[in-house]
Amino acid sequence: AQRVTQPEKLLSVFKGAPVELKCNYSYSGSPELFWYVQYSRQRLQLLLRHISRESIKGFTADLNKGETSFHLKKPFAQEEDSAMYYCALESGGSYIPTFGRGTSLIVHP
Amino acid sequence: ETGVTQSPTHLIKTRGQQVTLRCSSQSGHNTVSWYQQALGQGPQFIFQYYREEENGRGNFPPRFSGLQFPNYSSELNVNALELDDSALYLCASSLNLGSGSPLHFGNGTRLTVT
């Protein structure tokens, strides 16, 4: 069975500091991986997906199949990055994402 | 374009009752997924509908049932409510099946079972 683990429930950093939100997955096939974000009083929305190899709002995420990880990184955190971040895994052909429990990122001024 | 809308926003029910939650998908989207999110947890997949057919189901008992209509709106029905059913229920639509179609979420329905 596929599983997504986000080991940190809360990550607290100061503005300008680097950020890394961890995501590990278990799946034997080729996964599709996503990061979703929920800002305060807003709905859950897609931040980025690994197949696009894009950088959104300064965030990047690299799929490491050897370590089965898809960590989300940003070199310099901003206060507006404070939000709940969810890593999600879609197994090949299912088109149904499995979500991790989420990490709350707080960026202090 | 109109986003995903869910109704009602809040609901209080008594154990043993039945509830129907509704979701209007984003314009042009033919796939709807339902998730249950308990406090402090990530969204848990309930089921997905594609063009009015169930495309997949999570580890939820049969008293959780759903429906998708020809206009691609959807309902989630829960019978014989239990206290543990108290949660935020999220509906998400996508343009089509496939990882190229990300989920677009509604604001959710907060269900409280007493």
Nearest to A96 among B33, B90, B102 (CB): B33
Inter-residue contact B85 to B77 (CB < 8 Å): no
User: Angle B34-B40-B46 (CA atoms, 0-180°, nearest 5)?
Assistant: 20
Is B43 touching A (CB cutoff 8 A)? yes
3-state secondary structure of B84: helix
Q: How would residue B1 be classed by pLDDT, with cut points 50, 70 and 90? A: low
**Preceding peptide of B62 cis, ω within 30°:** no
Smallest CA–CA distance, residue A75 to chain B, in Å, is 26
- The DSSP bridge pattern shows strands B10-13 and B64-68 to be unpaired
Mutate to test the interface with A, among B30, B103, B104, B107 (most CBs of A within 10 A): B103
Kindly state the DSSP code that residue B59 receives in the 8-state scheme: S
Q: Is the dihedral of CA A23, A24, A26, A28 positive or negative?
A: positive
Inter-residue contact A24 to A101 (CB < 8 Å): no
Inter-residue contact B1 to B103 (CB < 8 Å): no
Nearest to B56 among A9, A96, A100 (CB): A96
Is A51 touching B (CB cutoff 8 A)? yes
* CA–CA distance, A93 with A95 (Å, rounded to integer): 6
Give the model confidence (pLDDT) of A75-89 as tens digits: 999 999 999 999 999
Mutate to test the interface with B, among A3, A43, A85 (most CBs of B within 10 A): A43
Mutate to test the interface with B, among A2, A9, A44 (most CBs of B within 10 A): A44
Q: How would residue A90 be classed by pLDDT, with cut points 50, 70 and 90? A: confident
* CA–CA distance, B108 with B101 (Å, rounded to integer): 20
E strands in B25-108: 31-37, 44-50, 53-57, 64-68, 74-78, 87-94, 104-105
Give the model confidence (pLDDT) of A13-66 as tens digits: 999 999 999 999 998 888 889 999 999 999 999 999 887 778 889 999 989 989
Smallest CA–CA distance, residue B76 to chain A, in Å, is 17
